[in-house]
């Protein structure tokens, strides 16, 4: 009896290992199939998005409303935006802006002029603080 039991116990671990290995292989096969399906779906989605992007018409960032004709290099520079401006506004621009604001405020009703003076003063103060200091030689 002990010999038969020992043989069953000796046989049983191998069977358990084989069953476990077969289940693991089955599980990994299912995971690999799922991964393959997801990769195929991703390829299809990427191809569809690329195709849609090729069909879309893009418009330029800048629209020339003047009679001035720009070269392609100038258009490219304009498309980059204001942060690539080649010219900094001179201090006379701030002076002119201030004078124009004062003149516009004078045209308002005298009861609300003080409020707009305060708002304009605060706004110009914050705008001029963000300007780099001008060095005069």
Domain for residue 3, yes or no?
Answer: no
In the predicted model, what is the mean pLDDT of residues 111-133? 76
Domain for residue 33, yes or no?
Answer: no
Q: How many domains does the chain have?
A: 1
pTM of the shown model: 0.31
Question: In the prediction, which pLDDT does 136 show?
Answer: 39
HEC per residue, 4-21: HHHHHHHHHHHHHHHHHH
Residue 120: which domain range?
Answer: 72-129
131 compared with 109, residue with greater pLDDT: 109
Q: How far is CA 120 from the centre of its chain?
A: 33
CB-side exposure of 23: number of CA atoms within 13 Å?
A: 6
User: Is residue 116 predicted with pLDDT exceeding 80?
Assistant: yes
Domain for residue 77, yes or no?
Answer: yes
Domain for residue 101, yes or no?
Answer: yes
Give how far Cα 18 sits from Cα of 40, 63, 118, 125, Å: 33, 72, 86, 81
Taking only the tens place, the pLDDT of each residue in 4-51 is 555 555 555 567 777 788 888 889 999 999 999 999 888 887 777 666
Q: What is the percent of the chain where pLDDT is above 70?
A: 69
Report the C-alpha gap between 124 and 93 in whole angstroms: 12
């Amino acid at each position: 009896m002990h010999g038969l039991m020992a043989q069953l116990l000796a046989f049983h671990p191998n069977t358990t290992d084989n069953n476990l290995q077969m289940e693991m292989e089955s599980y990994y096969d299912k995971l690999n199939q799922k991964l393959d399906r997801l990769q195929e779906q991703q390829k299809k989605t990427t191809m569809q998005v690329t195709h849609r992007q090729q069909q879309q018409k893009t418009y330029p960032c800048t629209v020339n409303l003047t009679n001035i004709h720009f070269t392609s290099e100038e258009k490219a520079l304009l498309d980059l935006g204001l942060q690539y401006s080649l010219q900094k506004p001179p201090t006379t621009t701030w002076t002119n802006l201030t004078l124009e604001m004062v003149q516009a405020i004078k045209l308002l009703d005298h009861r609300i002029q003080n409020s707009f003076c305060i708002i304009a003063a605060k706004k110009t103060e914050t705008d001029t603080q963000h300007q780099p200091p001008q060095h005069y030689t």
